[in-house]
Amino acid sequence: MYIESLKVIGHDVHRRLALFCLNVLARPLRYENGQMLFEHSAVITLWYKIAPCLANEVDARLYEQCLRRIHSLACDPDESENYFPLWLFFWTQVTKKTPDMAAGYVEEFLNDLTDRKQIAMVSVLSVSRPFSSRLY
């Protein structure tokens, strides 16, 4: 019962966190002088801590909208340096535990690899089952 209550706690907190991140990500990234808004720095820090804490698909899916925004930033040549690692980190942490979710993004992974020359995506692809099945 103790473990059950922990699960419930975790999900609520994740939902709130995801909302917070989404909120922040929706806002302009930088000041005129190029300085990044502090809340964005905060979210980047936070992201690296959240991803390892995701143990199941239900929680991970809470972050999908954030992921989309992060990926679009990752594709922006000005911002990819900061945001591509977030994309990559999320998937390296989460793919094993949420293979079905990862399956939905294989297209993006392949594009990352081929168009955007992100070699690191190979490790993500090698773990996700659907890719292996697509090979054959």
Partner 1 sequence: MCPQSSIWSEVTSTLTCTLKNLFDSYVDPADAQADLIACLGPPVSSVFMEVLAKSFNSNVELFKANSSHILTIVEQLLLMNNIKDTRGLVEQTIIVHFDSAVDIDALLRMLIRVCPLVSVEHRKELCLNVIWYIARKLYDVKCSKTLGPLFFDFALVLLDLCVIEAPRHARILLEKNEFYPWKELAPRCSDLVRLCAAYDIIDEKKVINDLSYLENILELVSARAKANLVIVHATHGEALRAILRWLSHAENDSKNRWCQHVFNMGHKMLDLIDQRQITSDTCLDIIEALQKRVTSNEEDDNDEEVRGMIGPFLYVSEFLICRVHTFLSVDIASRDWHHDWPCI
Nearer to partner 1, 16 or 129 (CB): 16
Site for partner 1 in 3-22 (CB under 8 A): 3, 6-7, 9-10, 12-13, 16-17, 19-20
Crossing angle for the helix pair 2-25 and 64-75, to the nearest 10 degrees: 40
Nearer to partner 1, 98 or 118 (CB): 98
CA distances from 31 to 34, 39, 42, 78 (A): 5, 12, 15, 14
Crossing angle for the helix pair 80-94 and 38-50, to the nearest 10 degrees: 20
Per-residue x/- track, 43-62, partner 1 (CB under 8 A): --xx--xx-xx-x-------
Q: Minimum distance from CB of 68 to partner 1 (Å)? A: 20
CA distances from 16 to 13, 23, 68, 79, 82 (A): 5, 11, 18, 25, 23
Q: Minimum distance from CB of 46 to partner 1 (Å)? A: 5
**Interface with partner 1 (CB under 8 A), residue from 1, 29, 34, 42:** 42
Element at 66 (helix H, strand E): helix 64-75
Contact residues toward partner 1 (CB under 8 A) are 3, 6-7, 9-10, 12-13, 16-17, 19-20, 23-24, 27, 31, 35, 38-39, 41-42, 45-46, 49-50, 52-53, 55
